[in-house]
Structure 1
Amino acid sequence: MHIQQISVFVENKPGRMAEITETISAAAVDIRAISIADTSDFGILRVIVNQPEKAAEVLRAAGFTVSITSVIAIGIDDAVGEFSRAMRLLADNRITVEYMYAFVSKEHGKASIILRVDDDDHAAQVLAQHGISILSDKEVYNM
């Protein structure tokens, strides 16, 4: 149920994203989802990969500041209102969404979303009880 997300501190200067992705690629680690939040001077790159521990290790060895965070992933039907229904379930159960990002699912008609919430276990329980698919780490890493 818990997915390991790699977060990397990134200076806003030319070539930093190339260096990070090349480091990951050279270790034969495959990127599944990626998001970046930035300011004028730096950003936080969030990455879901098929081998999170290995990615963190090679990035640290290359001099990057890296952390691993637990997130959850949901799979919803790609239909009007499905995402809103998931967000309403979390809100009604007083679960705070800190951030999220979506990624392409290989399953036709499905959308996959990474969620960082204040209570992974409670969120997963609430969503699953209402028919929203909670993706396992193996499902996400092997997409």
Structure 2
Amino acid sequence: MVIKQLSVFVENQPGRLAEISEVLRQKEINIRALSIADTTNFGILRMIVNHPARAESALREQGFTVSQTDVIAVGVTDEPGGLVTALKALADAKITVEYMYAFVSKAEKTAYVVLRVEDNAVAEKVLCEHGVPILSGEEIY
């Protein structure tokens, strides 16, 4: 099950992240997870939100460059080594993780990890075979 991730091009200027957050607040869109990778002049803000299509539209209306990417999310035990099973299964299957970020859920002892890989379907199959739960959009959003 893929989930939708928004990627937003952000100039490195004071207040740009606040502007993005305000656009989402006004549309009652909740950010569930985020990551930002930056260079000197710009960054890429990656977000999982509860209403991806609505968020994309709202941000575009305000002049932001936005794209949606299919990613997968897995649940891992929130303890040392909890991520090892998932990453080892992918490595053994020769699946490269392009990037990932994680956040702790409200559920007890669970962490969610968002993964970007080349082939989501193959990665999901491998992870399921190793007992790593794949999360649905409803669980994440």
**Interval of TM-score (by shorter of Structure 1 and Structure 2):** over 0.9
- With structure 1 as the length reference, what TM-score do the two structures score? 0.96
Cα RMSD (Å): 0.7
Matched, 1:125 2:116: no
Q: Percent identity?
A: 56
Residue pair 2:85, 2:130 contacting (<8 A) in 1 also: no
> Counterparts of 2:25 and 2:7 in 1: how far apart (Å)?
16
Which structure 2 residue ranges, 5 or more long, are not aligned? Answer: none
2:115 alignment counterpart:
115
Equivalent position of 1:138 in the other structure: 138
- Give SS of 1:81's match: coil
Indicate the residue corresponding to 1:96 in structure 2: 96
Aligned amino acid, residue 89 of structure 1: A
Match for 1:26: what amino acid?
Q
Give the number of equivalent residue pairs.
141
Alignment of 1:8-23 (within 5 A): 8-23=8-23
Q: What residue in structure 1 maps to residue 37 of structure 2?
A: 37
Cα distance, 1:79 vs. partner? 2.5
Distance 2:43 2:131 in 1: 35
| Residue type at the aligned position of 1:44 | I
The ranges of structure 1 where at least 4 consecutive aligned residues each deviate by more than 3 angstroms after the TM superposition are: none
1:84-127: per-residue Cα shift (whole Å, max 9, x none)? 22111101101110000001211111111000011111111111
Secondary structure in 2 matching 1:87 = helix
